[in-house]
Amino acid sequence: MKLKIAFLTLMAVFLLMAGSVSAEPPVLQSSYGSNGVSVDLLRCKVVNNIVSLAFEFKSKSKELTQIMMDPRKVYYIADGKKYSMLKDEDGKWITSHTSWLPFKDGKNAIYWAKFPAPPENVKTIQINLPQIMPFEEQELQRTQ
């Protein structure tokens, strides 16, 4: 009988844990733009001295929404210094989009970009995207 109760308890815990697992990445912070646009910050992580940022753009509009993701206007500020997006050895921006980012209701868009990392003592940054309110005091996740 005790074995049966232990098995049922273990199964109940497993089912509760399985139900709480989400396929969606956790949202670190949300911000907003005009025309019902919202943006979720999904990643703000330093790996090998590179800051990796990832966002999900959403719109409540049934109409196509577009934001010009000009790499020169995507940056972060840390400790009073502006950090611009990285370029590869061919001079191309290291990002998912360098022009219009299209999305509409039910058709979200993912955007990511890479930046040089600030010094180790910097714990938070302010992220700036075109036509979107800044992401203030965002904690940097660092891997060892």
DSSP collapsed to 3 states, the chain: CHHHHHHHHHHHHHHHHHHHCCCCCCCCEEEEECCCEEEEEEEEEEECCEEEEEEEEEECCCCCEEEECCHHHCEEEECCEEEECCECCCCCECECCCCEEEEECCECEEEEEEEECCCCCCCEEEEECCCECCEEEEECEECC
- What does each of the 144 residues of the chain score in pLDDT, given as a tens digit? 554 444 434 444 444 444 444 467 799 999 999 888 999 999 999 999 999 999 999 998 888 889 999 999 999 999 999 999 999 999 999 999 999 999 887 789 999 999 999 999 999 999 999 999 999 999 999 986
Angstrom distances, CA of residue 70 to CA of 6, 25, 99, 121: 58, 25, 6, 29
The structural domains of the chain, ordered by start, are: 25-142 (2.60.40)
